A and B are shown apart, each in its own frame.
Chain A
Amino acid sequence: MNVLTDNFSVYGEGFLGTVELTFFASLLALALGFVMASFRVAPVGSLRVIGTVWVTVLRNTPLTLLFFAVLLGLPRFGLVLPFNVFAVLALGCYTSAFICEALRSGINTVPRGQGEAARSLGMTFSQTLSNVVLPQAFRTVIPPIGSTLIALAKNSAIAGAFSVTELLGTYKTLGELGYDVIWTFVWIAVGYLIITLAISAVFNVLERKWGVPR
């Protein structure tokens, strides 16, 4: 029990590391996922191909392999960045493929008639997009995006094994200090539960406020 109280700073540091990693990787994943989703629904063939290849390859890449390639491979090209930036890069790119698919299927659930009606009212492409299509798509993509971000938070544990400060990595420090392993893991588990349950609570609120079952 006193594993937590004795080492509050170690746990706190790890917890904050995980939260930070999750936050920045989420931002990257959402931005990149949005770009790739717009590529995938674009009327331009070559952009669609880029989006499809990006999604297909990354969705089928084991995240450990991606971490392995990014954290140990990119420095071979002379690109030297802090490890946690590399970790954000790997996590963000990996998750962007899943975000892209969620967004794309959200856009595809908007009935065609909505866009046709908007255009027959004389709306331009950007008006159609921002006033008609995206608001409706947004309502349907809340649960899948929540699910994806929870997966992202959990995947950030892999970064710990590549010497990035985060929650799972604290077990090594505490193990060296001679604390009971089981209790160490219990508190690590509690930390992850707090993060994943917080994300799902946020998305439940969003869903209740804006979600529409379609």
Chain B
Amino acid sequence: MTANAPTTTALYDIPGPKARARHRLYGVGASLVIVALLGWLVYLLVDTGQFEAAKWAPFQYKGIQELLLRGLGNTLKAFAIAAVLSLVLGCLLAVGRLSEHRVLRWVSTLVVEFFRAMPVLVMIFFVFVALEVQPLPALVAGLTLYNGSVLAEVFRSGVNSVDRGQREAAYALGMRKTQVMTYVLAPQAARAMLPSIISQLVVALKDTSLGFLITYEEFLHAGKLIASNLDYDLPFIPVVMVISPIYIGMCMLLSWFAGWVARRQRRNPKTEAIDVAPAGPGPLLPGEAPPTADRP
């Protein structure tokens, strides 16, 4: 497993004293280049007057802070609804794809493959423009269809990668196929696929920002309102500097959680019969190998 051997790769040996000195030299050089780049960036920001008091003043006003918080709340609301609905849709589609009935299987395969191949934004715009609904339901519908389809593939590959003996043993005990699924396969698959599922939710969280494009009043929309205000001297860069750390921080937190769950589940004795997936979003290539753990 790659996680256990981070320092040694096939690329080079453990360095000796001369190589270490050379690497240190390269390191100092690279650091200097980076510091120079950062310095240039700061100079550019100061030079174009991005740190002027007038541009940062709006963030002191209560109304502006409330606007931003309301935007953040709307983002989280859309994310929460979309996450729950796409988990439900993912379960339904996965059950359909694993069904013994051919028609059901074909229909769910068609749905999953179609929505995985389609940009989320096309679905959101279709619901918003063609079906003429409000921005929030349009955003949630688009996110649900897309993430539900990707999650269905994740669930299905999870169930399929449970060790074959588990299913056979369950059938040998006289369980029905629904019992085998709900008592034996699904719990193990859910444990192993939890990192993948959370990573896919990170994708959903990131994609809530698409609501900005259909005038849903989310975080980015609030930022745009402030940024295009002439009274505050168009504080565009300050707005980006305030918004992006919050957005990126939220996504990072969720990604880190996915990684933590992956490390934890790998140690869990209940995942002995299945490989725990690494934390990463679901596959998009039709027929791509399921996202199971890296083999040594």
Contact = CB atoms under 8 A, between A and B. Distances in A.
Contacts of B212: 64, 68
7 contacts: A46-B31, A50-B34, A61-B206, A68-B223, A68-B240, A72-B236, A151-B284
Given A168-B125, A171-B125, A154 B207 contact: no
Contact of A115 (B2, B11, B252): B11
Given A69-B244, A77-B48, A107-B11, A60 B118 contact: no
Contacts of B294: 105, 108-109
A27 interface: no
Contacts, number: 175
B120 to A, nearest CB: 7
Given A76-B48, A161-B213, A204-B287, A61 B120 contact: no
A50 B29 CA distance: 13
A143 interface: yes
Given A147-B285, A150-B284, A161-B213, 20 more contacts: A57-B248, A60-B251, A61-B248, A68-B212, A76-B48, A77-B48, A101-B280, A107-B10, A108-B2, A115-B12, A133-B10, A133-B11, A147-B283, A147-B288, A154-B119, A156-B119, A168-B122, A182-B130, A192-B119, A200-B285
A115 B207 contact: no
Interface of A: 41, 43-47, 50, 56-57, 59-65, 68-69, 72-73, 76-78, 101, 105, 107-116, 119, 125, 128-129, 132-133, 143, 146-147, 150-151, 154-158, 160-161, 168, 171, 175, 181-182, 185, 188-189, 192-193, 196-197, 200, 203-204, 213-214
B64 interface: no
B130 A181 contact: yes
A196 B12 contact: no
Contacts of B284: 147, 150-151
Chain A interface main SS type:
helix
Contacts of A114: 10
B164 interface: no
A60 B252 contact: yes
| Residue of B27, B223, B247, B289 most packed against chain A (CB within 10 A) | B27
B15 interface: yes
Contacts of A161: 121, 213
A180 B3 CA distance: 53
B237 A73 contact: yes
A44 B28 CA distance: 9
B117 A192 contact: yes
A125 B27 contact: no
Interface of B: 2, 5, 8-13, 15, 19, 23, 26-28, 30-31, 34, 44, 48, 50, 114, 117-122, 125-126, 129-130, 202, 205-210, 212-213, 220, 223-224, 227, 236-237, 240, 243-244, 247-248, 251-252, 255, 280, 283-289, 294-295
Contact of A76 (B23, B126, B220, B237): B237
Given A56-B252, A143-B289, A111 B10 contact: yes
Given A72-B236, A108-B2, A213-B289, A115 B30 contact: no
A143 B288 contact: yes
A158 B213 contact: yes
Closest 4 CB pairs of A and B: A115-B10, A60-B251, A62-B209, A154-B119
A72 B286 CA distance: 36
Contacts of B243: 65
A185 to B, nearest CB: 5
A161 B221 CA distance: 14
Nearest to A143: B288
Contact of A181 (B129, B209, B223): B129
A78 B10 contact: no
Task: Give the one of B5, B122, B223 with max A CB within 10 A.
Answer: B122
A47 B27 contact: yes
B83 to A, nearest CB: 15
A112 B10 contact: yes
Given A146-B288, A182-B130, A200-B285, A158 B220 contact: no
